[in-house]
Structure 1
């Protein structure tokens, strides 16, 4: 019993080590890996090599699948390119299995010894997460050694032979067991490494091991498909196409499992080397052959999984991929893109306000007020998505980004409410009474509106790029807007004193518009403060602002 417990603990340690390496690498290089995959879609060869390279780093084809299905769901990668990258990922995970089955047990204590102090002293930094990945790699090597040590005495027990006796003849059952373990461990790599180790210890036959390896490949494809089910048709097509490639490979190779089990020992005597060698050759040949079928499988996937008509009654988030939550950097990038989408909706609402200032169009007013419901819905979705990101896994930079995203989301939601109030006032006080602004008043409102649109775009740019110069420019624009708001309010009062009829009729609305526009401008310009604060320039800017305020009061 104790020996079996040692074996199971070794398996658990292997799965845990694989998880630590995968998450550690994604936290350190997540954005860079996404960029590499994004740039590789222009060429089939680059896409295939990118899949190999990225998967070799993260040691998980499932992690690569998460990134690519996210791209596909957002329309950032074509189906053919995505399938090519997934084929490269299968080769990459096979190559990593070959590397990890080398005799590297001597390296395990060194990796753990180096990784633990690095991680404990710098947890929330890239260096700390690199140390975490190093610990995971050391645990994988240690787990493989423990499994070998535990498996050897097990073979002397009759109970063990009975337990593994079910895996001695049925190729379909053996493949399903391999798929099941890959899904339970969330790692086909861990399943293959365990299979190779058990085969080298004589616990399972070589034929069973080959079937388990084929099944592990199927398990990773099924995991990708399950993860893509909540997403749109584009993501499901990609994962279904990848699984189809793996099913075709299994159908072709499994009937020859007995022949391969008899032939491989002639070429590779060591059962462990034979299993891993088969894994590498099988995936390389299968993926190479499937490259010629990418376009056909893509076309078939489109026919079987067509785009479904989306209801237009409620705007749905496009970028909040649940699968990205396992990687904080990826999740923050998804949330940032969705917030920019909210900014685009607010921009359209603002453009409609300009049209309503000039002409009385009740339909445009109603549509603009309805768009605030879209802003509110996306605001709630982004907020909920951000709460699902583990704050403990974020480093200092990512924590600041998380705060910036939620702050901008809240400000844009407030901006939508203010614009809805502006449009409601215009409909009640101008459109329903068929009034119009004076030429001078309309010119002043147009000037403020144009500055609002410009500052909204500049604020979104500052949020996206964290550019210090643009942040300083945005804060300067805020001060100019404040000065203009005061000046235009005084000019309006002068026109009232001059008994200008149109100014008198629209006076209350005009002053309310100027006040609300000032509030909108403050919300749009708020993105400048985090950038200035991070650069240490916020204190100096506030001192300059107080000086200007004092000069204004004296005047």
Structure 2
């Protein structure tokens, strides 16, 4: 359990700290080789190929990457997770005290969000090393028991059962890294034969490919094709290797030196060969996946046709309501992605007077408005008599979020472009500290878009909490910048007098925009009892009332 907790602790910390950077890395290219290398690098950093697969699936659902690129990235991520196993299998006990002290100090003593996340990552790595040490010490006495040799002997003779056990282990643990690390620990202390470890390792590769399929089970067909293609490739390759190794008795040839290290090397070799052999064909797999997972009739057209009003005769029955809801989510996802694309260059307009860029933003905002109108019309025509109460409530919350996303687009296209025009017309100059504060806040707001898209896709409770915590961080940055600006005014800084109105208005616009985007988290938090209806104290002391 400590190993599972530690792997998740590191992964979520890195996702929160570097999520926006990951998005730029994964969506800035079209070459499949670059996609594979990017996926490998991110999986090494995040320590989870499933997390990279979910990121790429979300980007594909938003139309930000193509099928071939996303699948190449997932294959590279599987290789990256294998390299993580190698890194963590080294004897790094000497690092544990340093990592614990450094991570604990950063996490507990700082009130800055980014510093705390850095401490979280370092602490998580220390916990992984500690858990592996505990695991090695715990299984060492088991070698002398009568039960383990019987189980180990059975798994070494029935390789297919060992294969299934490895797959189940990785799926239940929701981490192929943790499952394979445990197998390596058992093989290292001779608690498990190397041949059985090979079968368990291949099964864990199959189980690891099942995890993204399970986590994306409620998504529309288009994004689900990527984890399915990865599962078919990885599963068939793992099963083929299992049969070849055991039918031709090749386990002895793969035992090179220490059994634990040999198992890790076999794991890396399997993923490396799979990635190299499959990168050239990933683009050709799109058509078979389209055939295996065809789009629903309601999803065959483009986004502008997708949300045409339903006539009463064409109203979906209850089983189709979930399909309609998925269509709304997909359109909302594209709305959020479009507002994000508008948001990224917003501060650049303050520096460069570019009427064409402003006109392009206005056009994008018109598209956002049309998408909002289509969503509202589509949901209004959905037959309530064939929908459950929870489905009606979900549909209503999606429309409410569409209202907030449309308002976020208006902030960029109307308020921030207006501020940019005013700056150029009046030749206003920001002070260097003031401009840095605005840039930092703009970066913090932009980084939350990826988290919001993920929450919209999978209703992730932890990420919903993270969005609300990020909202508090954005408010803190806005408040700190406002106070620093007022102090500069007190000192008589000339640029601060010139830019005072624009500085304060931009701060308020960025804070409001983030509030709109983060609002997707509140329905999830309300449903799980993670947030209160009001922050007011419910009861007042009688003496205070009398006063």
Q: Same fold (TM over 0.5)?
A: yes
CA RMSD of aligned residues (A): 4.3
Relative to structure 1, the CA distance from residue 344 to residue 103 in structure 2 (aligned partners, 3 Å threshold; closer, same or farther) is same
| Residue correspondence of structure 1 range 15-26 to structure 2 within 5 A | 15-26=4-15
TM-score relative to the length of structure 1: 0.61
Map of 1:132 onto structure 2:
120
Work out whether residues 349 and 371 of structure 1, in 8 Å CA contact, stay in contact via their aligned partners in 2: no
Provide the C-alpha distance between the structure 2 equivalents of 1:60 and 1:332, rounded to a whole number of angstroms: 29
Map of 1:347 onto structure 2:
369
Map of 1:156 onto structure 2:
144
- The alignment status of 1:264 with 2:254, answered yes or no, reads yes
Deviations, residues 65-84 of structure 1 (Å, cap 9, x unaligned): 01011111122211111111
Map of 1:255 onto structure 2:
243
Deviations, residues 88-109 of structure 1 (Å, cap 9, x unaligned): 1111111111111111111122
In structure 2, runs of 5+ residues without a counterpart are: 299-305, 311-323, 344-362, 385-390, 427-474, 490-499, 506-547
Work out whether residues 342 and 412 of structure 2, in 8 Å CA contact, stay in contact via their aligned partners in 1: no
Relative to structure 1, the CA distance from residue 374 to residue 473 in structure 2 (aligned partners, 3 Å threshold; closer, same or farther) is farther
Work out whether residues 99 and 126 of structure 2, in 8 Å CA contact, stay in contact via their aligned partners in 1: yes
Deviations, residues 278-334 of structure 1 (Å, cap 9, x unaligned): 01111101211112332332221112112212274366122667xxxxxxxxx9977
Relative to structure 1, the CA distance from residue 125 to residue 374 in structure 2 (aligned partners, 3 Å threshold; closer, same or farther) is farther
Map of 2:329 onto structure 1:
317
Map of 1:459 onto structure 2:
411
Work out whether residues 221 and 295 of structure 2, in 8 Å CA contact, stay in contact via their aligned partners in 1: yes
Cα shift at 1:385: 7.7
Relative to structure 1, the CA distance from residue 209 to residue 319 in structure 2 (aligned partners, 3 Å threshold; closer, same or farther) is farther
Partner SS state of residue 202, structure 1? coil
Provide the C-alpha distance between the structure 2 equivalents of 1:163 and 1:368, rounded to a whole number of angstroms: 57
| Residue correspondence of structure 1 range 144-223 to structure 2 within 5 A | 144-223=132-211
Deviations, residues 232-254 of structure 1 (Å, cap 9, x unaligned): 11111111111111022112200
The one of 13, 17, 27 equivalent to 1:28 is 17
63-72 or 141-150, which moves further after superposition? 141-150
Deviations, residues 503-548 of structure 1 (Å, cap 9, x unaligned): xxxxxxxxxxxxxxxxxxxxxxxxxx99987752799649x99xxx
Provide the C-alpha distance between the structure 1 equivalents of 2:122 and 2:476, rounded to a whole number of angstroms: 34
Partner SS state of residue 317, structure 1? helix
Map of 1:37 onto structure 2:
26
Cα shift at 1:210: 0.8
Work out whether residues 336 and 405 of structure 2, in 8 Å CA contact, stay in contact via their aligned partners in 1: no
Work out whether residues 152 and 193 of structure 2, in 8 Å CA contact, stay in contact via their aligned partners in 1: no
Provide the C-alpha distance between the structure 1 equivalents of 2:199 and 2:418, rounded to a whole number of angstroms: 58
Cα shift at 1:470: 3.8
Relative to structure 1, the CA distance from residue 320 to residue 59 in structure 2 (aligned partners, 3 Å threshold; closer, same or farther) is farther
Deviations, residues 6-49 of structure 1 (Å, cap 9, x unaligned): xxxxxx11111111111111011011111101113x11221111
Provide the C-alpha distance between the structure 2 equivalents of 1:243 and 1:88, rounded to a whole number of angstroms: 14
Provide the C-alpha distance between the structure 2 equivalents of 1:409 and 1:533, rounded to a whole number of angstroms: 26
Relative to structure 1, the CA distance from residue 242 to residue 129 in structure 2 (aligned partners, 3 Å threshold; closer, same or farther) is same
Work out whether residues 119 and 132 of structure 1, in 8 Å CA contact, stay in contact via their aligned partners in 2: yes
Cα shift at 1:159: 2.5
- The alignment status of 1:110 with 2:98, answered yes or no, reads yes
Work out whether residues 186 and 192 of structure 2, in 8 Å CA contact, stay in contact via their aligned partners in 1: yes
Relative to structure 1, the CA distance from residue 336 to residue 198 in structure 2 (aligned partners, 3 Å threshold; closer, same or farther) is farther
TM-score relative to the length of structure 2: 0.62
Aligned residue pair count: 390
| Residue correspondence of structure 1 range 404-553 to structure 2 within 5 A | 409-410=403-404, 459-461=411-413, 469-470=419-420, 535-536=481-482, 541=501
Work out whether residues 101 and 193 of structure 1, in 8 Å CA contact, stay in contact via their aligned partners in 2: yes
| Residue correspondence of structure 1 range 70-149 to structure 2 within 5 A | 70-122=58-110, 125-149=113-137
Structure having the higher Rg: 1
